[in-house]
Amino acid sequence: MAIPLKYNLRNLAVRRTTTAMTASSITLTVTVFVVLMALAQGLQTSLTATGHPLNLIVMRDGSQSETQSSVQRDALQTIKYLEGIAKNEKGEPVVSPELVVLINLPRRGQVQGSNVTIRGLGPEGFAMRKEFKLVEGREYRSGLREVIVSKRIAERFQNCGLGDRLKFAKGYWTVVGIFDAGNTAFASEIWTNADDLAPDFDRDAYSSVLVRATDAGAVQRLKKAVADDRRLHLKADTEQEYYERQTRTAAPIKFLGIFIAALMAVGASFAAMNTMYAAVARRTKEIGALRVVGFSRGSILLSFIIESVLIAALGGFMGCLLALPINGVTTGTTNFMTFSELAFSFQITPGLMLAGMIFAVLMGFIGGLFPAWRAAHENIVTALRST
Amino acid sequence: MAKSVVEIKNLSKIFQRDSFSVAALESIDLDVKEGEFLCLMGPSGSGKTTLLNIIAGIDRPTGGELHVLGEDIATLSEDALATWRNVHVGFVFQTFNLIPVLTAYENVELPLLLTKLSAAERKEHVLMALKLVGLADRIDHYPRQLSGGQEQRVAIARAIVTDPTLVVADEPTGDLDAYSADEVLDILSRLNRDFKKTILMVTHDPRAAHHATVVRHLEKGQLLPVEN
């Protein structure tokens, strides 16, 4: 049987100040780790949650994002009548030719601006996006220079509230509605009619065409049909593939999170190591006594590692608690694929908290290993003679 | 004739200090019979504690033959030796060496955690040992809540709780007042007399030696001939 856990717990309680200080260094590290990972997680979710499995985005072959792409109007006619495209109740193909442009808008309370995506949609555009929900006002009417703004953009940018007038391109546009698009990339966009937007930006062509396939089999057939048609020079990706590709925007944040957390972890592990070395030094005689009554080196090693891990787990738990209030807080970053604002929420998942705890335990283990090794390999006679 | 618990022939222990070697023990021959209460006496640095430690399996000799309870313990691995100590030897130290964060009961229970006894059996053994040393009413006390004499009695209970054949005591009365020292020596005598424990005790205290059945003297690492 191993040395009882109460031995460790009571020792931690006896030197509670040292325990608390060591645990707090781990708390801070875990908090930073969880917060940064929650940022990356939120960003990733907003991109991976976007898209209907049967929606395909048709873009110019070779373009990485809709803003780089153009689809000529005559190509739209060819696309519309490809086999495998779903029809609405009127028997018309479910297709939305779309124009995506970027405008620079000032953030609320700041002079500096940021790029925001304006999407001009075709008549089927709303119906094709299950995430879309109008929460205030009404939908735009064509020909009247009206826009609807996502809730997150309305909250974060000037002149984007309901009834506000927004100046871009060749004049003022009125905000007539606020929409919610959940946790998706659309939640960072301003929408209007594609045919209203095009003349204002002197565009003849669309950026992309969103098409709805009849079924999963048709998705593959449509992708092939678009790619095989040499007149078009276009490609079709599923909407989910397209947004998943953009998740690499989260990579630098993830890297930063891991990098900063790793640096802090080195410090926290040293704190744990220092504490455990002190604990071993203070309890050398006890270690000798435990060895004398028959506890093996292995059980001494395990006992001190457990003690270090207990401190770290306490720190990790506190770290997760401290990070928790950030869950759901909205923030934004530049999507490096589209160079426009992407608003999203910090997302602390149970998996992330578990990762935080594992990270803490790992710091405790590394910090405790060498002191525990020393404790286990202490010469019994020398240990008993220590004061 | 009683059988030998400790058989030592030509045992030596040399400590290496940088380029110097110091002989702590030289050519020791010793035979301890079952049921003996052997007292090892001698001035500081004479090698008493080193000899005790070697017999108890917490130090190793440099040369010679050593059999304790029939086992050539010098050849055992560290872990095997730990198990051997747990089963066969009980220790009493000058400074008690109780674990401060454990109660008297928990301190005494420690060696039993390494046995296959159930919790109920362990409890029975612990209470019996504490009763034997007269501390049945102090089971929930922490070492800091006990007097020196009481601490040493808890340490004796811990030493005997596994019912070992051999009890070794290194200056068990060294840190105690005269009254407490007498109590501790009485307990050790009783263990020897009533429970047939073989006891090896290192001491400076001439009064302590009165409790022993055999007294041996060490000087400069050598065991002096038996006095008659």
B58 and A292: CB-CB below 8 Å? yes
Q: Does A386 touch chain B (CB under 8 A)?
A: no
In the predicted model, what is the mean pLDDT of residues A256-265? 85
Q: What is the pLDDT, as a whole number, of residue A349?
A: 92
Query: How far apart, in whole angstroms, are the C-alpha atoms of residue A344 and residue A181?
Result: 11
- Which residues are registered as beta bridge partners of A166? A173
Digit-coded pLDDT (tens) for A325-337: 999 888 777 777 7
Give how far the C-alpha of residue A357 lies from the chain's centroid of Cα atoms, to the nearest Å.
19
Give how far the C-alpha of residue B49 lies from the chain's centroid of Cα atoms, to the nearest Å.
10
For A381, the closest of B59, B85, B95 (CB atoms) is B59
Digit-coded pLDDT (tens) for A160-201: 999 999 999 898 999 999 999 888 888 889 999 999 999 999
On the CB side of B167, CA atoms within 13 Å amount to 30
- Which residues are registered as beta bridge partners of B201? B39, B169
Query: How far apart, in whole angstroms, are the C-alpha atoms of residue B106 and residue A197?
Result: 81
On the CB side of A192, CA atoms within 13 Å amount to 24
**Residue A3 reports pLDDT greater than 70:** yes
Q: What is the pLDDT, as a whole number, of residue A329?
A: 86
Domains in chain B: boundaries: 35-58+81-223
In the predicted model, what is the mean pLDDT of residues A239-263? 82
B162 to chain A: closest CA residue: A293
For B101, the closest of A1, A10, A380 (CB atoms) is A10
* Vertex B207 angle, CA B205 and B210, to 5°: 120
Q: What is the pLDDT, as a whole number, of residue B19?
A: 85
DSSP assignment letter at A93:
B
Digit-coded pLDDT (tens) for A267-310: 888 888 988 898 888 899 999 999 999 999 999 999 999 999 99
**Residue A52 reports pLDDT greater than 60:** yes
In chain A, the percentage of residues whose pLDDT exceeds 70 is: 99
Q: Sign (positive/negative) of CA torsion A58, A62, A68, A69? A: negative
DSSP assignment letter at B98:
-
Digit-coded pLDDT (tens) for A68-90: 899 998 899 889 889 999 999 99
> Tell me, which fold does domain B35-58+81-223 have in CATH?
Rossmann fold (3.40.50)
Q: Does A7 touch chain B (CB under 8 A)?
A: yes
**Residue A248 reports pLDDT greater than 70:** yes
B110 and A290: CB-CB below 8 Å? yes
Q: Does A284 touch chain B (CB under 8 A)?
A: no
Query: How far apart, in whole angstroms, are the C-alpha atoms of residue A269 and residue A309?
Result: 11
Digit-coded pLDDT (tens) for B65-104: 999 999 999 999 999 999 999 999 999 999 999 999 999 9
Look up the pTM and report it: 0.79
Query: How far apart, in whole angstroms, are the C-alpha atoms of residue B133 and residue B156?
Result: 7
CB A345 within 8 A of CB A330: yes
Q: What is the pLDDT, as a whole number, of residue A189?
A: 93
A298 and B99: CB-CB below 8 Å? no
The one-letter code for the residue type at A72 is Q
A8 to chain B: closest CA residue: B101
Classified as helix, coil or strand, A362 is helix
CB B39 within 8 A of CB B16: no
Q: What is the pLDDT, as a whole number, of residue B208?
A: 83
**Residue A338 reports pLDDT greater than 80:** no
B102 and A7: CB-CB below 8 Å? yes
Instruction: Tell me which residues of chain B have a pLDDT lower than 50.
Output: none
Give the containing element (helix H, strand E) for B30.
strand B20-33
Residue that wins the pLDDT comparison between B161 and A48? B161
- Angle separating helix axes A5-14 and A297-323, nearest 10 degrees: 60
Q: Which of A292, A295, A385 best probes binding to B when mutated, by most B CB atoms within 10 angstroms?
A: A292
> Encoding tokens for residue A206?
């669309």
Give how far the C-alpha of residue A294 lies from the chain's centroid of Cα atoms, to the nearest Å.
52
Query: How far apart, in whole angstroms, are the C-alpha atoms of residue A34 and residue A175?
Result: 37
- Which residues are registered as beta bridge partners of A201? none
**H-assigned helices in chain A:** 5-14, 16-48, 73-80, 151-156, 194-200, 216-228, 239-245, 250-282, 284-292, 297-323, 350-376, 380-385
CB A98 within 8 A of CB A119: yes
The one-letter code for the residue type at A150 is S
Q: Does A339 touch chain B (CB under 8 A)?
A: no
Q: What is the pLDDT, as a whole number, of residue B1?
A: 66
CB B191 within 8 A of CB B197: yes
Query: How far apart, in whole angstroms, are the C-alpha atoms of residue A272 and residue A198?
Result: 62
